[in-house]
Amino acid sequence: MSLWSLLFPPRCPFCRRLLEKGETQPCLNCRKTLPWTGERQRVHGSFFGVCVSPLHYRDSARAALLRYKFGRKTAYAACFSRLMADCAEKRLVGGYDVVTWVPLSRRGLRKRGFCQSELLARGAAAQLGVPCAPMLRKPRHTPAQSGITDAAVRRANVSGAFSLREDAMPEGKRVLLVDDVVTTGATLSECSRLLLMGGAEKADCLTLCCAARMKE
């Protein structure tokens, strides 16, 4: 056993109970009580086909995601990305050529210290057996979407904030785009629009949490 795992044994990201070494599932209790979205949950957007998410953005799921993002609990990514890949395997069909993620601006990355959606994308891609590559950049820093409730203002806030990387090569690819939370889908739509304009065959989305109202 490494010193690292003695010092920092894995914990359930949702309740912080100690887990067995190497365990990446939530603890048994959380598996029963987490706010799962259910198999029929879907969010549709203007440019992406569908977005699926294993958890609702509330209760212990919301608290864990906030600790991950703002408390730098990067170890949570192992459990989170597993839940996401499990969800993608069950609810998305057709397969993907590449997994990518919604990037942070340079300023955002400096402030947070890591890109939360990149870690989720890399973990999920590894489980899904699909290559993972950066395809987007965010040259313009924008106010956090979480502070904006109006859908039109959220769309305006992200319009022009992202661009396709010069080395992205989305032509003909089926892209799975990863972010941490979907609310109105404005960010995912804007990023998907860029991927489609670059020639991607399709873009679907996968997030850990869904803050949108259920549309079933």
CB 173 within 8 A of CB 132: no
Token reading at 149 = 């409730």
Q: How far is the CB of 15 from Zn ion (least distance, A)?
A: 3
Cβ nearer to Zn ion, comparing 66 with 214: 66
* Integer CA distances (angstroms), 193 to 19, 123, 173, 185, 186, in order: 41, 24, 14, 12, 10
Check residue 205 for interaction with Zn ion (CB under 5 A).
no
Stretch of 13-21, 48-56, 183-191, 199-207 lying at the interface with Zn ion (CB under 5 A):
13-21
**Identity of the amino acid at 142:** T
Backbone angles phi, psi at 62, to 5 degrees: -65, -45
The DSSP secondary-structure symbol of 74 reads T
Stretch of 1-9, 15-23, 187-195, 197-205 lying at the interface with Zn ion (CB under 5 A):
15-23
Identify the residue among 5, 7, 9, 12 touching Zn ion (CB under 5 A).
12
**Identity of the amino acid at 109:** L
Which residues, numbered 29-68, are part of the site for Zn ion (CB under 5 A)?
30
Stretch of 7-15, 64-72, 170-178, 188-196 lying at the interface with Zn ion (CB under 5 A):
7-15
Q: How far is the CB of 78 from Zn ion (least distance, A)?
A: 14
Cβ nearer to Zn ion, comparing 51 with 77: 77
The DSSP secondary-structure symbol of 97 reads S
Give the integer Cα–Cα distance in Å for 206 and 208. 7
Q: Which residues bind Zn ion (CB under 5 A)?
A: 12, 14-15, 27, 30
